[in-house]
């Protein structure tokens, strides 16, 4: 059984004492790093003055470390249970960040957090032991979710991941992904910026942060000078511009006739797949040649694929303990393991845990 926890990838340093302001840990993440308190995710949106996010953060950045600790905090391992963790990056940054991510995430993490936000003690520590880390391309995580998750897809298909910072696409066959077909280009952020430019023609946006504009983009409305403005028409306009100017030209260059001969389905994943206006663009262009399918809860797809990868690899590791392994190293194979997938996205961070029998 896969259990996913999703929170906005936003944060803000704070000196506020926040007690009993949230119902649970997901809505009340407050973490201390290097003697500085940060409110993260949903709590930052509620209690923050100007929460912000970083785009395509490197594993060495404080933002990445903060969001990864918040994610690990939500895994809540029991006792000596070790985590088998899989995460990933877009093709554009995968090779650049892979080794640094391994260094950052591998090993024991002491997470200092304030549990009083949801009724617990103020100074709390949780130790999380990441026994094994795998870093894979984000689009590969999505194809694993489609093949190994609830859909159990067995045929060849196109995958298009509509992320906030990056849009990626690839052809997935039963033998693996076709690297030649891989696409990596601008994400939904491009459309959000177009929206901000359109709004600025008529409204003073009062120094709203990029995340606040993104939230308005998602909701289809924005409040300016206490007046709520409907922006659905503008959103549809900029999403179509984004598709026509960015997505379509890249897909036409990458996907050739032989790919369409192999594939009969196109899966849309990532947060951008929640916008029906954007999905309609895909259906208008590809609907006559392939079946366009939106993955269930598309914003969780990569994280679920990462988690399934952890489950598969952890099971294989336990069944194939090398005969020459050192005694002190064998515990990763013998200790109880929690399969976890962590997608530190530009818009949202999603943690998925595999729990047997739930």
Pairing, β 337-344 against β 82-89? parallel
Neighbours of 136 (CB within 10 A): 18
| Nearest partner of 132 among 343, 340, 345, 352, judged by Cα | 340
- Give the Cα separation of 336 and 138 in Å (integer): 26
Average of per-residue pLDDT across 58-85: 91
Single pTM value for the model = 0.92
The string of pLDDT tens digits covering residues 173-192 is 999 999 999 999 999 999 99
Average of per-residue pLDDT across 206-233: 88
Angstrom CA distances, 154 to 151, 205, 255, 324, stand at 9, 48, 20, 37
Confidence band of 277 (pLDDT split at 50, 70, 90): very high
Cα separation of the two ends of the chain: 6
- Give the Cα separation of 161 and 151 in Å (integer): 17
The pLDDT value given to residue 173: 95
Average of per-residue pLDDT across 286-291: 97
The pLDDT value given to residue 224: 85
The pLDDT value given to residue 6: 95
The pLDDT value given to residue 301: 97
The answer to whether residues 313 and 281 touch, using CB atoms and an 8 Å cutoff, is no
As a whole number of angstroms, the longest Cα–Cα distance in the chain is: 70
Average of per-residue pLDDT across 262-285: 97
- The residue whose two tokens read 């993955």 is 295
- Give the Cα separation of 349 and 159 in Å (integer): 20
Average of per-residue pLDDT across 234-256: 97
Please give the helix or strand (H or E) that residue 183 lies within, else none.
strand 176-186
Pairing, β 11-14 against β 36-40? antiparallel
- Give the Cα separation of 213 and 119 in Å (integer): 32
- Give the Cα separation of 127 and 116 in Å (integer): 18
Q: Tell me 57's DSSP state.
A: -
Asked if the model's pLDDT at residue 324 lies above 70, the reply is no
Confidence band of 331 (pLDDT split at 50, 70, 90): low
- 209-218, 249-258, 319-328: which is most confident: 249-258
| Average of per-residue pLDDT values in the chain | 91
The string of pLDDT tens digits covering residues 191-214 is 999 999 999 888 887 767 888 899
Q: Which of 10-14, 26-30, 149-153, 208-212 has the lowest mean pLDDT?
A: 208-212
Asked if the model's pLDDT at residue 263 lies above 70, the reply is yes
DSSP letters, 251-287, are HHHH--HHHHHH-SEEEEESGGGG-HHHHHHHHHHHT
Asked if the model's pLDDT at residue 320 lies above 80, the reply is no
What are 158's strand-pairing partners?
Answer: 171, 266
Average of per-residue pLDDT across 298-319: 88
């Amino acid at each position: 059984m896969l259990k996913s926890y999703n929170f906005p990838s936003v944060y803000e340093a704070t000196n506020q004492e926040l007690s009993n302001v949230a119902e649970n840990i997901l809505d009340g993440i407050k973490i201390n790093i290097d003697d500085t308190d940060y409110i993260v995710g949903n709590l930052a949106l509620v209690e923050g003055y100007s929460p912000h996010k970083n785009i395509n953060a490197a594993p060495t950045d404080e933002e990445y470390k903060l969001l990864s600790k918040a994610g690990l905090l939500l895994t809540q391992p029991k006792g000596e249970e070790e985590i088998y963790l899989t995460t990933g990056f877009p093709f554009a940054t995968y090779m650049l960040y892979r080794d640094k991510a391994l260094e950052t995430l591998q090993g024991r993490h002491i997470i200092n957090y304030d549990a009083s936000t949801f009724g617990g003690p103020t100074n709390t520590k949780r130790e999380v032991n990441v026994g094994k880390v795998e870093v894979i391309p984000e689009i590969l995580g999505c194809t694993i979710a489609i093949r190994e998750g609830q859909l159990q897809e067995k045929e060849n298909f196109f995958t298009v991941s509509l992320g906030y910072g990056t849009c990626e696409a690839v052809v997935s066959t039963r033998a693996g992904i076709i690297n030649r077909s891989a696409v990596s280009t601008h994400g939904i952020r491009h459309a959000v910026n177009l929206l901000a430019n359109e709004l600025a023609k008529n409204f003073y946006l009062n120094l709203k942060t990029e995340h606040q504009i993104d939230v308005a983009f998602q909701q289809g409305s924005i409040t300016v000078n206490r007046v709520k403005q409907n922006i659905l028409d503008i959103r549809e306009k900029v999403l179509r511009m984004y598709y026509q100017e960015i997505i379509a030209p890249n897909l036409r260059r990458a996907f050739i006739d032989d790919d369409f001969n192999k594939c009969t389905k196109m899966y849309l994943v990532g947060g951008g797949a929640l916008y029906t206006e954007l999905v309609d663009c895909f259906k208008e262009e590809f609907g006559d040649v392939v079946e366009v399918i939106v993955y269930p809860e598309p914003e969780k797809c990569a994280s679920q694929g990462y988690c399934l990868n952890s489950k598969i690899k952890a099971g294989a590791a336990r069944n194939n303990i090398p005969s020459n392994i050192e005694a002190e190293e064998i515990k990763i194979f013998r200790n109880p393991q929690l399969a976890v997938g962590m997608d530190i996205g530009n818009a949202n961070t999603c943690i998925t845990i595999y729990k047997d029998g739930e």
